[in-house]
Amino acid sequence: MRRQRGTWVRYLLLTLAAAVFAFPFYFMVVGAFQESPTNTPDHLLPTSGWTLDNFAAIDSRIDLLGSLGNSLIFTAGVLLGTVTFGLLAGYAMARLDFRGRGATWVLMLLVQMVPFQLLMIPLYVQITRGFGLGDTYLGMILPFAINTTAVFIFTQFFRALPQEMFEAARIDGASELRILTSIAVPLVKPALTTVVLVTFIGPWNEFLWPFLITKDATLQPLAVSLANYISNVAQSTANPNGAILAGATTLAFPVVILFCLFQRYFTASNIGSAVKG
């Protein structure tokens, strides 16, 4: 009975914590569909006044579908670079013995301590004046194509794999690339999923760097377009609060959907099961 009571207490505390964390999302979504959202009980427990006008107001002021497409291109490019270079660099750091590996590892950790804001102006000058990539997708993608956090995550997971697997594959004549793609990557799917989700959230919500790189509205991602809409246009609409909450909902919805689709992959892998004995 005491153990059962303790279980119920834990479930109750977890439920309360989940409700606290979910409440801002509930407030945002409900307010986005209300005719006049306010901080009142009617907003928290709506009984009437549902409308799509707040989303229609956004679409009438900005190209919602075009901005969404720009965000997908920007985010997909960053994801492709992060996963590709992260896997290659992480595998090299974890499983290859080369001169300077320790110094490279320390340097990578030091890079993580430098805020991106400190590098933004030098990167802007280099991308726009040095490479001439202003007002291009490539100019927005390049600074985020290599993510030291992704390299760190992959390195730690590759180090946890049993060494016997790699030695057996090398004895059988497999190349390092074949070992990476056929043996290592299938065993680090939780790390791959984590990197994809963490990387997706960053560029999807990024608005400052794309805003610096391009002033062309046809190339601006959704976060930039919504930031401009909320700061310059939303207050002039009939329902400013609803417009702001609708913009936030539009930006957050793809992230929530992606997390719901991939959350089942956040499971521990029994990576030691590939070795006999």
Listing DSSP states for 194-258 in one string gives HHHHHHHHHHHH--HHHHHH---TTT--HHHHHHHIIIIIGGGSS-HHHHHHHHHHHHHHHHHHH
138: number of Cβ within 10 Å: 12
- For 62, the 3-state DSSP assignment is coil
The whole-number average pLDDT for the span 124-144 is: 90
Per-residue pLDDT, 95: 87
CA separation, residue 98 to residues 104, 105, 106, 255 (Å):
10, 12, 15, 39
**Letter string b/e over residues 70-109, b meaning 16 or more CB atoms within 10 A of that residue's CB:** bbeebbebbbebbbebbbebbbbbbbeeeeeeeeeeeebe
Q: Note the pLDDT tens digit of each residue in 179-193.
A: 888 888 888 888 888
Per-residue pLDDT at 267 exceeds 70: no
**Do the Cβ atoms of 260 and 69 come closer than 8 Å?**
no
**Distance, CA of 90 to CA of 150 (rounded, Å):** 8
Q: Note the pLDDT tens digit of each residue in 34-45.
A: 877 665 545 566
Per-residue pLDDT at 157 exceeds 70: yes
At residue 205 the predicted structure's pLDDT band, cuts being 50, 70 and 90, is confident
C-alpha triplet 81, 265, 183: angle, nearest 5°? 65
177: number of Cβ within 10 Å: 10
Closest among 233, 226, 220, 231 to 248, alpha carbons compared: 226
Predicted structure pTM score = 0.78
Chain CA centroid to CA 72, Å:
12
- The encoded tokens of residue 94 equal 């974890």
Per-residue pLDDT at 271 exceeds 70: no
Closest among 18, 19, 46, 48 to 30, alpha carbons compared: 46
Average pLDDT, the chain: 82
At residue 64 the predicted structure's pLDDT band, cuts being 50, 70 and 90, is confident
At residue 75 the predicted structure's pLDDT band, cuts being 50, 70 and 90, is very high
